[in-house]
Structure 1
Amino acid sequence: MDGRVREHAEVLVDWSARVEAGDDVVVSVAEDAHELGVAVAEALGERGANVTTLYGSSEVSRAYLKGVETRVEEETGEGETDAVDADDFDSDPAVDRAIFEAADAYLRIGGGRNTTATAGVDGDTRRAYATARKGAREARMDTDWVSTVHPTRSLAQQAGMAYEEYREFVYDAVLRDWEALADEMARMKDILDSGEEVRVVTERDDAPDTDVTMSIAGRTAVNSAASVAYDSHNLPSGEVFSAPYDTEGEVFFDVPMTIDATRVRNVRLAFEGGEVVDFSAEAGEDALADVLDTDPGARRLGELGIGMNRGIDRFTDSILFDEKMGDTVHLAVGRAYDACLPEGESGNDSAVHVDMITDVSGDSRMAVDGEVVQRNGTFRWEEGFAAEAE
């Protein structure tokens, strides 16, 4: 076994999830993530934790959802079809909720055989399933959960990289000096915590402009340093995020992404009164529409994220990596994270949380309360920051 696999497992168990002796840990392992799953199980055993293992297969999920579609079609009569809705699933089956309600931590190890395994499943079906499992999802998110990925050939292919090259990329992003990065990101957190309004502007000759403002007053930014101790749940991480509201303006997302196994590219969202009132996409517009139609909260922002992990140096069509990349800003429609909200206050609620990314490495600026804090991807405390546009 490559020594970096064991190091990855140790970072996940110790730094990220902070697992202690006696903890009940649920580990979901994707089809081709077996090697990292083995290393994680060994690390958990050495620390005295209790382990329950799940098989996290997108191909199995697709088969189940297609089976539901077949059942619903047959029930409506031969030759007829009907959209699947949440009533076609049991709402939060007891076994789903129970396993997460009893868990102290949940570790999701991604790395499937096919990154588009759920292609062909109707958007209504995916949306209905997400709605029906909302309670189980909330129970899972109440644990010390962390999501990571094992470098696989399917992910390398999706990223357009040789397998060996992709492994180097993943470990450069994961095996970081997380304490040092946390200290740097704390600067951005302090700015957002004391701010009331964020404005992001891009002005490029080869793409539509972005000019969007959003309120962050009363919110608490999360220093997402890849550890539950920082209210951070992804490994790798390396972003600072908040829960914006009262969004106005237009955003152009120029970083391609995959939504529900569908390639989506060049998305434009227009906001009025905090809500998406118009949208378009050069590719994958139907998948984007499915997301926005999930529920009322899916047309409002749940997250503003600022990428700060410079160990991630290219786009890979994986949101786990791409949204953390330095020189990027991402916005997510849908659910807001409780960690950003005042105690007792509910933020934007939705069954979905879908991130979209814009490149701010050039011809861009981000201002908080009118003061530019990042220009062309460089933060004001970094060498080369230009206080004024050239």
Structure 2
Amino acid sequence: MDERVREHAAVLVDWSARVEAGDNVVLSVGPDAHELAVAVAEQLGERGANLLATYSSGEIQRAYLRAHDGDFDEDPAHELALAEHADVFLSLGGGRNTSATADVPGEIRQAYRKAQEGVREARYDTRWVSTVHPTRSLAQQANMAYEEYRDFAYDAILRDWEALAEEMARMKTILDEGSEVRLVSPGTNLTMSIEGRTAVNSAASVEYDSHNLPSGEVFTAPNGTDGEVTFDVPMTIQGESVRDVRLEFDDGEVVASEAAEGEAVIGDVLETDDGARRLGELGIGMNRGIDRYTDSILFDEKMGDTVHLALGRAYDACLPEGETGNESAVHVDLITDVSEESRLEVDGEVVQRNGRFRWEDGFDA
């Protein structure tokens, strides 16, 4: 076993999920994530946690959803009980086909997501963390050789997370103290209110309200969005390719949309429910260990020189206590490259220009 697999498992269990003796841990394992699952199981055993491993396959989900009539039971009791009794939920991605569910009808997807809302909320109440094991399918999707992709993935995952957390704390402070964000780049001129919101320093640990490994972003929950935005980073959503998405907002809601590719997918997302037409997240990528696009949202949205916005559900960690943010059965991220002819302003002050933050070398005031 590559020693980096064991290091990945240790970071996931110790830094990310903060697993303790006696924790009930659900380990969701993708088809080709077996090696990482073995390493994680060993770590959990050493800590005296209680392990239940489940199998997560896009091909199995495709077969089930395509055969179903779409009248799903709401929050099946057995599935809900599993989530409600878990302390930790670890998801190890690593499928054989990144587009396995591409031909599932949009209306079936929507119905299934809505029926699973309670299960999702119960899972979000755990110390949940999602990661991926470098696989050949992910390498192919990223247009890399397998060995090259493994090096790339571990450069992003095996970071000095404490040091990165200290740097990202600067951006968190700026957003916490700010009232309005403006993003300007080719095809984009968008303003968002962030007044009263709390930004998350997403340093790949539940201690930071961060649930992805790798991570490396600072995000908050905007509202009152106005203007237009173009997402020029190609990506796969619901198993289908999406490229050059343009959204127009008025009073916080999407009023027009188009895409050079995957327009029907974006339409399906927007039609999920009322909340799917509003933003649930503004995220700023700050992980310089991610230096190229891979067509994987887990990596691409954390890349330095990017900003991403998510349609749908807002995370409670960004909201004042007792306040309900945007609610939706979806949370779909879209990414824009801000490395050239771009600026990010908070209350009229430029915080990032052409991908460089104001505390970094090369920032042009």
Fold match, TM over 0.5?
A: yes
Counterpart of 1:142 in structure 2 is 125
> What is the distance in 2 between the residues matched to 1:157 and 1:386?
37
Per the TM alignment, residue 131 of structure 1 is displaced from its structure 2 partner at its CA by 0.3
TM value normalised by structure 1 = 0.93
Per the TM alignment, residue 119 of structure 1 is displaced from its structure 2 partner at its CA by 1.4
Where do residues 1-390 of structure 1 align in structure 2 (5 Å cutoff)?
1-68=1-68, 72=69, 84=70, 88-203=71-186, 209-387=187-365
Per the TM alignment, residue 130 of structure 1 is displaced from its structure 2 partner at its CA by 0.3
TM value normalised by structure 2 = 1.00
Query: Would you say how many aligned residue pairs link Structure 1 and Structure 2?
Result: 365
Q: 1:208-234 CA deviation, whole Å, 9 max, x = no partner?
A: x20000000000000000000000000
Amino acid at match of 2:107: D
> What is the distance in 1 between the residues matched to 2:267 and 2:88?
34
Aligned sequence identity (%)? 73
Per the TM alignment, residue 126 of structure 1 is displaced from its structure 2 partner at its CA by 0.5
> What is the distance in 1 between the residues matched to 2:54 and 2:224?
40
Per the TM alignment, residue 384 of structure 1 is displaced from its structure 2 partner at its CA by 1.2
Q: 1:185-217 CA deviation, whole Å, 9 max, x = no partner?
A: 0000000000000000003xxxxx200000000
Instruction: Show structure 2 runs of 5+ residues with no match.
Output: none
Amino acid at match of 1:167: R
Q: 1:167-186 CA deviation, whole Å, 9 max, x = no partner?
A: 00000000000000000000
Q: 1:304-362 CA deviation, whole Å, 9 max, x = no partner?
A: 00000000000000000000000000000000000000000000000000000000001
> What is the distance in 2 between the residues matched to 1:119 and 1:230?
34
Amino acid at match of 1:286: A
Amino acid at match of 2:295: D
SS across alignment from 2:22: coil
Amino acid at match of 2:155: D
Counterpart of 1:78 in structure 2 is none
SS across alignment from 2:156: helix
> What is the distance in 2 between the residues matched to 1:95 and 1:313?
42
> What is the distance in 2 between the residues matched to 1:257 and 1:54?
27
SS across alignment from 2:269: helix
> What is the distance in 2 between the residues matched to 1:66 and 1:330?
31
Amino acid at match of 1:384: G
Larger radius of gyration between Structure 1 and Structure 2: 1
> What is the distance in 1 between the residues matched to 2:220 and 2:135?
31
> What is the distance in 2 between the residues matched to 1:297 and 1:372?
30
> What is the distance in 1 between the residues matched to 2:259 and 2:218?
27
Query: RMSD of aligned C-alpha atoms?
Result: 0.5
> What is the distance in 2 between the residues matched to 1:345 and 1:216?
14
Q: 1:132-174 CA deviation, whole Å, 9 max, x = no partner?
A: 0100010001100000000000000000000000000000000
Q: 1:40-65 CA deviation, whole Å, 9 max, x = no partner?
A: 00000001100011101111101100
Per the TM alignment, residue 66 of structure 1 is displaced from its structure 2 partner at its CA by 1.1
SS across alignment from 2:12: helix
> What is the distance in 1 between the residues matched to 2:151 and 2:237?
26
Instruction: Show structure 1 runs of 5+ residues with no match.
Output: 73-83, 204-208
Amino acid at match of 2:61: S
SS across alignment from 2:44: helix
Per the TM alignment, residue 247 of structure 1 is displaced from its structure 2 partner at its CA by 0.0
Amino acid at match of 2:30: A
> What is the distance in 1 between the residues matched to 2:239 and 2:195?
35
SS across alignment from 2:282: strand
> What is the distance in 2 between the residues matched to 1:167 and 1:374?
30
Amino acid at match of 1:43: Q
Amino acid at match of 2:140: Q
SS across alignment from 1:48: coil
Amino acid at match of 1:304: L
Amino acid at match of 2:306: T
> What is the distance in 2 between the residues matched to 1:119 and 1:252?
24
> What is the distance in 2 between the residues matched to 1:326 and 1:302?
21
SS across alignment from 1:223: strand
